[in-house]
Amino acid sequence: MNPWIIYSQPRPSASLRLFAFPHAGGGSGGFRNWANRLGDEIELGYVQLPGRESRFREAPYSSIPELMPALADALSPHLDRPFAFFGHSLGGRIAFEAMRELRRRGDKEAAHLFVAACPAPQLPWPHPFMHGLDTAQFLGEMQKRYGGIPQQILEEEELCAMLLPMLRADMTMLETYSYVEEAPLNGGITVFGGLEDRMVKESSLVPWRLETSGAFHLQMEAGDHFFPQSAQSRLPESVAAGLTRVARVTEPI
């Protein structure tokens, strides 16, 4: 069993596969309501990184370059049909680098990259680093900048202690990421942003256009940094429609 990829609703006859990469501090749970909303032709695979949920006993990665070899090894056996990547925040950065790692290996290429609440990779990190702060300051900055940590976790010392190493490692990946220029991706890129997102402004999403030689689309949605998880969000349906359009013009892999 591959612990990296989880299929909550396997669809062996689906013609497309979408791999979903979570935000910092997140896991596959953030996508649990997506499978039923993508349609029968799309099989959803959650990417489960070490240090969270079913893999919480494993040490988390704190460097994207160090993560890439193991992640690409885990993905490679699952690329037996046309596929695309979706990443939320840090997940968007990891998905982008995974696409480039697979290309460097001469492996199959994703038909499309969907990212949400993730600044273009070539832009420098614009905020003071927080991954090295002490626990109280770190959690305070997380809530101030992003929100998203349930109050019951913050108030429960044991739960907070379990979450902290993974969350700090994820923020280290995000803040210490160093972009290396390569050729644009062949697959297109669709970028989603939240109109009320305090950390990721629309202007920081536009340069994603430079990372593809294919189609580019930018779509702003109502909501903050966690708009993809909002009950009101139609993001899964938007991704499904975009992926279906891509499939019509993509040669079989």
Q: List, for residues 76-115, the tens digit of each pLDDT value.
A: 999 999 999 999 999 999 999 999 999 999 999 999 999 9
At residue 235, the 3 state secondary structure works out as: helix
203 in active site: no
Residue 18, beta-bridge partner list: 44, 84
Work out the number of other CB atoms within 10 angstroms of the CB of residue 71: 22
Q: What is the pLDDT of residues 180-225, one digit of tens each?
A: 999 999 999 999 999 999 999 999 999 999 999 999 999 999 999 9
> How far apart are the C-alpha atoms of 212 and 103, rounded to whole Å?
13
At residue 115, the 3 state secondary structure works out as: strand
Tracing tokens 């240090």 back to the chain, one arrives at 51
At residue 104, the 3 state secondary structure works out as: helix
> How far apart are the C-alpha atoms of 44 and 182, rounded to whole Å?
28
User: Which of the given ranges, 32-41, 110-119, 244-253, has the highest pLDDT on average?
Assistant: 110-119
CA angle 151, 133, 171 (to 5 degrees): 70
Q: What is the pLDDT of residues 138-191, one digit of tens each?
A: 988 988 888 877 777 777 878 788 889 999 999 999 999 999 999 999 999 999
Q: Where are the alpha helices (DSSP H) in the chain?
A: 64-75, 90-104, 135-145, 151-155, 157-176, 235-249
pLDDT at position 230: 81
pLDDT at position 40: 92
DSSP 4-69: TEE-SS--TT-SEEEEEEPPTT--GGGGTTTGGGS-TTEEEEEE--TTSGGGTTSPPP--HHHHHH
Q: Is the pLDDT of residue 250 over 80?
A: no
Q: Which of 119, 143, 99, 105 is nearest to 209 (CA)?
A: 119
Q: What is the arithmetic mean of pLDDT over 11-39?
A: 90
Strand bridging mode 83-88 / 216-221? unpaired
At residue 147, the 3 state secondary structure works out as: coil
Q: Do residues 96 and 187 touch, judged by C-beta distance below 8 A? A: no
Q: What is the arithmetic mean of pLDDT over 236-250?
A: 83
Catalytic pick from 89, 203, 230, 238? 89
Confidence of residue 136 (pLDDT cuts 50, 70, 90): confident
- Report field, pTM of the whole predicted structure over 0.85: yes
Half-sphere exposure of 90 (CA within 13 A, CB side): 26
> How far apart are the C-alpha atoms of 77 and 85, rounded to whole Å?
15
